[in-house]
Amino acid sequence: MKSILIVDDDINLCIVLSEELQENNYDAKFVNSADEAFDFLEKQSVDLILLDLKMPVKDGLYVLGKLKEKKVDSKVIVLTAYSDIESAIKTAYLGAVDFLSKPYDIDDLLFAMKKALNQEEHENKC
């Protein structure tokens, strides 16, 4: 079962989304801030991170930068209500594999996740 970490300051979104992902056979956990995410990832690694961009104190771009710096190899999909080209380019530059706008469509999200996770399998085969 693939492990997913949702990083979003919107607790309701985290609860709903983690349930949706569990129904789709993902091992989904969530945290509500950048610092909680780093604490979590120190203890266990995950296959995929679903990351919010707008969070108080330390935002998603900060998280992406740190993940890159720490060479965390989880795939990252950015989920944001404030989608614009500039942020999308920045997140891609910082290593995010996909960028989806909120409110997310669960089917689009599941498709993007599958794509991101399969990409990982292909890389492992090489």
Per CB under 5 A, residues contacting Mg ion are 9, 52, 54-55
**Cα 12-18-22 angle, rounded to 5 deg:** 150
Q: How far is the CB of 2 from Mg ion (least distance, A)?
A: 24
Nearer to Mg ion, 86 or 121 (CB): 86
Q: How far is the CB of 76 from Mg ion (least distance, A)?
A: 15
Nearer to Mg ion, 46 or 55 (CB): 55
The label of the residue with tokens 């801030």 reads 33
> Around Cβ 106, how many Cβ atoms within 10 Å?
14
Q: How far apart are the first and last CA of the chain?
A: 22
Q: How far is the CB of 86 from Mg ion (least distance, A)?
A: 17
Nearer to Mg ion, 29 or 54 (CB): 54
Nearer to Mg ion, 34 or 113 (CB): 34
Give the CA dihedral 121, 60, 14, 35, nearest 10 degrees. Answer: 100
Instruction: Report the candidate in 63, 67, 54 with the shortest Cα–Cα distance to residue 8.
Output: 54
Q: How far is the CB of 124 from Mg ion (least distance, A)?
A: 32
